[in-house]
Amino acid sequence: MRTMGLVALYPKRRTSLPGRGHTIYPYRLKGLSIDRPNQVWAADICYLPMAKGFLYLVAIIDWYSRKVLAWRLSNTLDSHFCVEALEEALGRYGCPEIFNTDQGSQFTSEAFTGALKNAGVTISLDGKGRWVDNVFVERLWRSLKYEEVYLKAYENLRHAQTSIEQYFRFYNTERRHQALDRQTPDAFYFGGRTCQKRHDEQ
């Protein structure tokens, strides 16, 4: 195939391409002690194969508790589905102090950063090529793929939506994490701590 110049055509898993002209913000989590819910949220996009075709999944998590706050599926890589997930998370859980993502064009778009600025949230971006800066979302993707996605072949968007919704409900409410003292993300997020909603004071 190399000699003949034949290559397979398929969607490449490059979900973090920066947008031309988009503002690049500094990484603000270095050396930061994260010790409460809604102090830092993070988001990322992953590629999901189906029986035929593919989807993109965005998820927003609370860094402290690993709780999945909101998510959306899309068959395109525009910023719309990311903004929808962000607006849901802000509406349900209030505002974080810092929001961290990679430098993908979806997260550096005016629509996404504008929503964060309007909510008074500090924007933080990973260093270029540094997946480890957003390691907790990467761990979520690993769990999702090995415990859910790779065990099934989604027939369509509706099938994927229903199945992933069930998984995230299990992940938040039943799946215990060693790093959370064997508690679930929900228990760690809500348990014994008051979530910081800065807009409540306004």
pTM: 0.82
Which tokens hold the place of 91? Answer: 């509406």
What CATH code is carried by the domain that includes residue 161?
Answer: 3.30.420.10
Residue 2 lies in a domain: no
Q: What is the pLDDT of residues 9-45, one digit of tens each?
A: 444 455 445 555 567 899 999 889 999 999 999 999 9
H helices of the chain, where? 80-93, 105-108, 110-118, 135-147, 157-173, 185-190
Asked if the structure places residue 143 within a domain, the reply is yes
What share of the chain in percent tops pLDDT 70? 81
Residue 1, in any domain of the structure: no
Using alpha carbons only, give the angle 28, 39, 94 rounded to the nearest 5 degrees: 125
Domain containing residue 44: 40-190
The answer to whether position 197 is within a domain reads no
Question: What secondary structure does DSSP assign to 163-193, as a single string?
Answer: HHHHHHHHHHHT--BGGGTTB-HHHHHHTT-
pLDDT band per the 50, 70, 90 thresholds, residue 46: very high
Residue 198 in any domain: the answer is no
Residue 95 lies in a domain: yes
Q: Is residue 117 part of a domain?
A: yes
For residue 202, tell me if it sits in a domain: no
Residue 41's closest CA among 79, 95, 92, 91?
Answer: 95
Q: Beta partners for 123?
A: 99
CB atoms within 10 A of CB 120: 11
How many structural domains comprise the chain? 1
The predicted-structure confidence for 115-157, as pLDDT tens digits, reads as follows: 999 999 999 998 764 555 678 888 999 999 999 999 988 999 9
Tell me if 37 sits within 8 A of 183, measured CB to CB.
Answer: no
Residues 54, 104: Cα–Cα separation, whole Å? 19
Burial (CB < 10 A; 0-12, 13-18, 19+), residue 104, is buried
Sheet holding 54-62: strands in order across? 68-74, 54-62, 40-49, 98-101, 122-125
